Structures are given as structure tokens and as C-alpha cells.
Amino acid sequence: MPVAKPSLESLVRKLQLHSSLTADQRDALLALPFVQRPLEARAQLFRGLDPAGHCCVLLDGYAARSKLLPDGRRQFVDVLMRGDLIGIERSLFRRGDTGVEMLTRGAAAMVAAADLEAVLAAHPGLARALWSETLFQGAIQREWTVNVGRRSGLSRMAHLLCELGVRHDQQGIAHREKFNLPLTQEQLADCTGLTPVHVNRMLRLLDDYGVVLRNHRQVTISDWTRLAKLAGFEDGYLKPEGFTAVSCQAC
Amino acid sequence: MPVAKPSLESLVRKLQLHSSLTADQRDALLALPFVQRPLEARAQLFRGLDPAGHCCVLLDGYAARSKLLPDGRRQFVDVLMRGDLIGIERSLFRRGDTGVEMLTRGAAAMVAAADLEAVLAAHPGLARALWSETLFQGAIQREWTVNVGRRSGLSRMAHLLCELGVRHDQQGIAHREKFNLPLTQEQLADCTGLTPVHVNRMLRLLDDYGVVLRNHRQVTISDWTRLAKLAGFEDGYLKPEGFTAVSCQAC
DNA sequence: CGTAAAATTGACTGACTTCAAATTCGGTGG
DNA sequence: CCACCGAATTTGAAGTCAGTCAATTTTACG
């Protein structure tokens, strides 16, 4: 696996999807001290309710935010990929409410809360950009609620694939129609609120329809339009089009 | 209906659940200019993806954030009550992703984006408190995803009642075990991802178990412990215990 | 190359939905 | 205060989508 020279470039890219950063702000962010930590699959990035003295940026690999039920069942509430900022609620504000664990091996940049705090104090515009990022996370979260709440099994799978496709595309990780999907069917089940068996059947059905091919862990969407239709996918919630540029009179 | 002298007191109370505000910050917030707008049931507070020049604070009544599916089905992604801040993402950052409509009659304080912007620029600590509030909303949203994704119909209803109970309590609207629930069963269905018919049956079952009594639109929880157990309810995600006090070096 | 994990498939079960009809509630005008 | 009407609730019966259980095959990885 070719490891890029570790940097927070991917976080900058993500923030710039919705917030315009000045050169100063970008440089300050890139100058943040961090420790790169290699991570095995199943490694816990954050656990339970504990607060933490750091947050992290995922540099490589995939992770999931999850909640456990008393009976041991599990629901993923987000899939995290390169550039995603994880655990800011723990480092700046309070303890968290979800666990975060690696789905694959990868690496994360660990950023000390105090360092982040200092940069945000010096650059209020950055704080604004991160708040904006929090709001985008919220939009994704709401769509996940809709997905598991109101869509059929087939649509849920289709919708998840659409969302992950767009997010890969936005982060420059892969093309929307062809990307790596390193999740097991059990993990996909935890994303969609289905059982692993049913995930298998729905993937098979999408394949039979000729809409999505899945070899090993590579997804190839051969008919995006039809997939989006099956999913009821509207990409508006992922897109910042029409956003008001960050304007903070104190910045 | 006795209308309290309209003020943003309820918003202050909400923020103080998790953020410590200085007297200055509190006064600045309370001094925000706003227009009180009475609202009929079904009134749209925000619609579709449009950005807005304002946000609002719910002063009275109940509202729901919802998303519509292409086929007309609907999922609520949050229930909003007195003190809840609505539409900040539209006023400060970008267009929204969900519609917001009143479930009952009520009233909202409409705050112009420019006024809010000015107060936040003057009091960075307030921006921090609102960001924190955004993160709490995220925690609630994640729990909703878990609720519709992994819990049985009975548990979903039970969990919703627990959450609404605690939130009524926190906002000083009512006691945790006895509060007004002005939602129709159809609306409860849109909260839980069930059908109205099934909501009816689950409420009946909770009643038969002697856990929750529901007369007209008043909820009386006679056995909180058992209800929480049925729901798998853990109140941690609603509670700021152990939070790190807001500390912003620029404030 | 061998072993454990993951994927696949089939048969059966059950929770929730759908459809439809009857009853109750809540507000309004007489 | 009561009669009325639409909305909301309640109930029953039948259907279906997804879950459960269990066995087999394939894949991933040391």
C-alpha cells in the first residue's frame, strides 16, 4: 500500500468543499502538530463515553461510528474515510456518544486538543469551517435516519452505495462509479439496519439488475441513473452548492 | 393558552445545559432583536433546500424536521420543542437539507442572520456554545438512526417516549414522567419509521403492560425503569455530564 | 497450503404492513 | 348545551418483506 507523505491535506480538501479558507488559515491547519498512528483493522479509535485529549483525521483506511444495543446488536451511524475528522466533540466539548473503530487497516493523524484549540483561537474562520463541517455531518446523519427508517432493503443498499460513491468522488479517492468498498456484508448490514443474509440478497439483486457489479471488494456502478432511482438518491444533502461563503466579521 | 412574555430565555437555558455562559454572553443573546411570529399547525418554518436570511427559536408548540421520499412517504428526523434553535445551517452557512413544519400551533422568534452574525462575532464564546449545541443535535440524530435501524416497534416507541420525557424535563417544560404529547399517531409513525396502525398497537401494548398511560394527548409514564428497559434507553447521549467547560482563548 | 472468516443459498418463521371497516374524538355552528 | 362532521383512533384479517436457522462454498490471509 503506497503511503502518501502524511499530511492534513485531505482535511483541508474536505473543508474547502463547503468553506473558503484563506491561505493563512490553510497554512495554520497544515502546520498543526500531529502524530501519525498506523491502525489495524478493528482498532478502537474512540470508545464508549470517555472524553479524550485529542481528535484525529483519518489518513488512510475506513472506520465506522457505531452504537451498541444492550443485547449486543450494533448500528453503524456513519462510515468514515480519508479526510474525515473524528472525535472533535470529545476533544473540544465533552465526552462522545459513539464508539469509532477501524474497518480496515489504515492510519490516522492524532491531534492534541490543546493544539487544535490554539489554532482555532488564532483563526476564528477555521472554527467556523469546522462548525460548518459538523453541520454537513448532521445532514448525512439525517439521511441515514431516513434510509433505515423508510426505505426498502434494496433501496437502502442502493442509497448507501450512491452516498459512498459521491463521497469517494468528493474526496478524490476514487471515481463515483468505481471505488473500493472494503466492508464485509456484516458491516454493510450494520450500516443499513438489515441482516447480513439480506444484504447478500440485495447485492445479488442489484447485480442481477445489471446496475452494480461487485467483485471482491470493488464496486462498479454500471448504471448510475438507475441505481439512484432505485435508491431514491438525491445528492443535495452532500453538496454545498449555493452555500454562503464563510463570513466571520472577527476573522 | 397562556403566552409567556416572549424572550430567548429558553434558548439560554438550553445552551446552559452544556455550555457555561458569562453574564455578558447571556445578555448579548437575550438582547438579540427578533420578531415573534405566531404559527398555525402545519405551518412551514423552512422548506426544501432554500437558504434563508434568518433562523428561529421555537417559543411555543412543537415542530418536526422531516424529509420526504419521492413516493411521498415521510420520515421525521427530529421533534423540536420550546427552546430549540432551528435553521442555523441555513442562516449562517448554506441551504438546508430538511423541511421544518409545525405539528401544533405555537410561536417562534425569528432572528435575522445578520443580527446573529454580529453577536457571534462580538462573542466568540457564544459561537462555541452554538457549535456545541450542534454537536448535541448530532448525538440525538445518531440515536434516532439506531432507533429506527435496530430496535423493534415496541422498543422504538418506548425509546421515543423516554427521549421526549427527558427533553421536556431538561427544558423545564414538564416532568419526565408526565408530559404533553401533542403528536398524532401518524406523526409518531413518521418519527419511528413504523405505520400509524402499528404505532397504535405498540402504544396499546405499552398500556397493557401498565408502563405508559396515554389519555388524549397526555403521556403518563407509570414505570420509568421498566419503560427504559423495554426501550434500551441510555440517557448518556442527552446529558452533558463530564463535559469540558467551554474554554476559548479568544473569548 | 491450511484454516478461519466471509459469502452464498434454501427453507421456514414472524414482525410489521396493507387494506378496510367501525368507533371515538374534537372542534364548530346552531 | 347539543348536534354534527371530519379527523384521528381502534380493530380485524390477510399478505409480505425481511429475519432466523443451518448447511455449503468461496475467499482471504498467515
Q: Output the pLDDT for position B245.
A: 46
pLDDT above 50: residue A9: yes
> DSSP assignment of A172-216, as one string?
TSSBTTEEE----HHHHHHHHTS-HHHHHHHHHHHHHTTSEEEET
* For testing contact with chain A, the best of B94, B134, B152, B225 (most A CBs within 10 A): B94
Amino acid A87 reads: G
Q: Per the structure block, which three cell numbers stand in for A38?
A: 498506523
Report CA(B107)–C1'(C28) in Å, whole number. Answer: 24
Q: Give tens-digit pLDDT for A99-140.
A: 999 999 999 999 999 999 999 999 999 999 999 999 999 999
Q: Output the pLDDT for position A5.
A: 64
- Mean pLDDT to the nearest integer, A7-17: 95
d(CA B128, CA A168) in angstroms, rounded, equals 30
Q: Taking CB atoms and an 8 Å cutoff, what residues of chain A touch B73?
A: 150
Question: Strand D within 7 Å of which CB atoms in B 193-222?
Answer: 196-197, 200-201, 203-204
Q: Output the pLDDT for position A242.
A: 54
Whole-model pTM?
A: 0.94
Q: Is B153 on the interface with A (CB under 8 A)?
A: no
CA contacts within 13 A on the Cβ side of B121: 13
Q: Taking CB atoms and an 8 Å cutoff, what residues of chain B touch A77?
A: 142, 145-146
φ and ψ of A54, to 5 deg: -150, 165
Residues 123-142 of B with CB under 8 A from A: 124, 127-128, 130-132, 134-135, 137-139, 141-142
d(CA A156, CA A177) in angstroms, rounded, equals 17
Instruction: Tell me if A236 sits within 8 A of B49, measured CB to CB.
Output: yes
pLDDT above 80: residue B3: no
d(CA A16, CA A28) in angstroms, rounded, equals 14
Q: Give tens-digit pLDDT for B170-229.
A: 999 999 999 999 999 999 999 999 999 999 999 999 999 999 998 888 999 999 999 999
φ and ψ of B77, to 5 deg: -110, -5
% of chain B surpassing 70 pLDDT: 94
Q: Taking CB atoms and an 8 Å cutoff, what residues of chain A touch B249?
A: 117-118, 121
Q: Output the pLDDT for position A10.
A: 96
Q: How far is CA A49 from the centre of its chain?
A: 20
Q: Which nucleotide is nearest to B42 (CA to C1')?
A: D7
pLDDT above 50: residue A39: yes
pLDDT above 80: residue A171: yes
Report CA(A189)–C1'(D28) in Å, whole number. Answer: 20
The DSSP code for A70 is T
Question: Strand C within 7 Å of which CB atoms in B 186-245?
Answer: 193-195, 197-198, 201, 216-217
Q: Give tens-digit pLDDT for B92-143.
A: 887 889 999 999 999 999 999 999 999 999 999 999 999 999 999 999 999 9
Q: Where do we find the cell 469551517?
A: A129
Angle at B221 between CA B208 and CA B205, to 5 degrees: 20
Instruction: Tell me if B204 sits within 8 A of B159, measured CB to CB.
Output: no
Position B246 confidence tier, pLDDT thresholds 50, 70, 90 = very low
Tell me the average pLDDT of chain A.
92
Q: Taking CB atoms and an 8 Å cutoff, what residues of chain B touch A144?
A: 145
- Helices (H), ranges, chain A: 9-16, 23-30, 88, 113-122, 124-150, 153-170, 185-192, 196-208, 224-231
- Mean pLDDT to the nearest integer, B138-149: 98
d(CA A139, CA A86) in angstroms, rounded, equals 16
Answer for B185: CB within 7 Å of strand D: yes
φ and ψ of B64, to 5 deg: -135, 140
